[in-house]
Amino acid sequence: MTVNQVSVFIENRQGRLGEVLHVLKENGVNILSISLADTTEYGLLRLIVNEPERARDVLLEAGFSSMLTEVIIIKVPHTPGALQNILALIAEKNVNIEYMYGLSASANDASIVMKTNELDLALEVLRAQSIGTMSNEELMEL
């Protein structure tokens, strides 16, 4: 199962991130995870939110270049090597992991956001190994 991530392209200048976050706050969108990568002139903001379609729409209305991207959220047990073991299973199928970032941690596991070049194949591998993933519906409950 995949979830929708909001990707926002923003100018790399003081205050621009705050403007994005203000739009989301004013529209009642809850941020569950955030990742910001930058270049000299632009930043790529990746967000997991409780209402991704709504977030994209309000950001577009506010003039921010925004889109939805399908990603997988995997649940990783708190044991040494657990993430490496999961990634090895995916690599065996020649699936490339494009990027990852953390979502949350609980007493039992951590949730990691992952984008691959072959989402369906990655999901197939995860399901075959009974590795938990999250849905958009579960995100709305957080």
> Looking at this protein, which amino acid is placed at residue 17?
L
- Give the residue extent of every domain in the chain: 3-69, 71-141
Q: What is the pTM of this model?
A: 0.86
Task: Give me the percent of the chain exceeding a pLDDT of 70.
Answer: 99
pLDDT surpasses 80 at 140: no
Q: What is the pLDDT of residue 40?
A: 78
Q: Does domain 71-141 have CATH number 3.30.2130.10?
A: yes
Q: What is the pLDDT of residue 78?
A: 87
Q: How far apart (Å, rounded) are the C-alpha atoms in residues 42 and 9?
A: 7
CB under 8 Å to 66, separation ≥6 — which residues? 6, 7, 8, 9, 55, 56, 59, 60
Q: What is the pLDDT of residue 12?
A: 85
- 92 versus 108: the higher-pLDDT residue is 92
Q: What is the pLDDT of residue 54?
A: 96
**pLDDT for 57-82, tens place per residue?**
999 999 999 999 999 999 998 899 99
Judge if 3-69 and 71-141 fold alike in CATH terms.
yes
pLDDT surpasses 90 at 26: yes
pLDDT surpasses 90 at 9: yes
pLDDT surpasses 90 at 28: yes
CB under 8 Å to 15, separation ≥6 — which residues? none
State the fold for domain 3-69.
Answer: VC0802-like (3.30.2130)
- 138 versus 123: the higher-pLDDT residue is 123
